[in-house]
Amino acid sequence: MKRILWVLLPVVVVAAGCASLAQKRYTKELLGAQRAIGAGQVGEAYSRLQAANKAAAAGHLDATPIQLLVAELRLVQGNSAEARDIAETVLAQNQRNPQANELVAKVLLKQGAFDEAEQHLVTAQLEYGTLGERQRVEDLLNLTRGLRAYSQGDTLAARKYWATIENTQLRDAVEGSTSGQSARG
């Protein structure tokens, strides 16, 4: 019996090492895909996502983050319907998934469904673990609330919401797309 355990021990150690290597590769490729999506490098993002998928399969890892990055990529490419379908598939498994809620909210925001988008953003904000994630969603909430007010003709309320957006790129984009209305009031 002892001999069998000593024979199996190296197999277990190697398997654990492979899982660790797969996890490291998986994380590296996910981060690379996320950066590529942010930079608009579609081909690079797809390559990274394929590599992450292989690492996930090798290490028996959760592929949900890959699905969500594919959805984010589809959204960046203008395919809102597919992005939403992917995110809603994730939400069907876990209604509180913050990334999926944020993605659905972004699609709804593009469609002008401000109330529904706000509900998803509130859920995402409650579920995110870091201050940076929660602040990003807070900015999206203020964008959403401002757009709703703007669509109702209340530019003063819209500007108040937009003035609280901390992300300067987002705030500047709002300023540029609302006919010269300053987001800073």
- Nearest-CA neighbor of 119 among 148, 136, 97, 141? 141
pTM: 0.81
pLDDT at 22: 84
Question: In the predicted model, is pLDDT for residue 104 greater than 70?
Answer: yes
Lowest mean pLDDT among 15-24, 89-98, 99-108, 159-168: 15-24
Greater pLDDT, 151 or 2: 151
pLDDT tens digits along 118-152: 999 999 999 999 999 999 999 999 999 999 999 99
Tell me the percentage of the chain whose pLDDT exceeds 90.
Answer: 75
pLDDT at 21: 86
Average pLDDT, the chain: 86
The angle formed by the CA atoms of residues 106, 108 and 110, to the nearest 5 degrees, is: 70
Query: What's the CA gap between 32 and 9, in Å, rounded?
Result: 34
Please report how many Cα atoms fall inside a 13 Å half-sphere around the Cα of residue 134, on the Cβ side: 7
Question: In the predicted model, is pLDDT for residue 1 greater than 60?
Answer: no
Query: What's the CA gap between 60 and 63, in Å, rounded?
Result: 9
Every domain of the chain and the residues it spans: 1-61
Confidence of residue 4 (pLDDT cuts 50, 70, 90): very low
pLDDT at 3: 41
pLDDT tens digits along 165-176: 999 999 988 888
Question: In the predicted model, is pLDDT for residue 9 greater than 80?
Answer: no
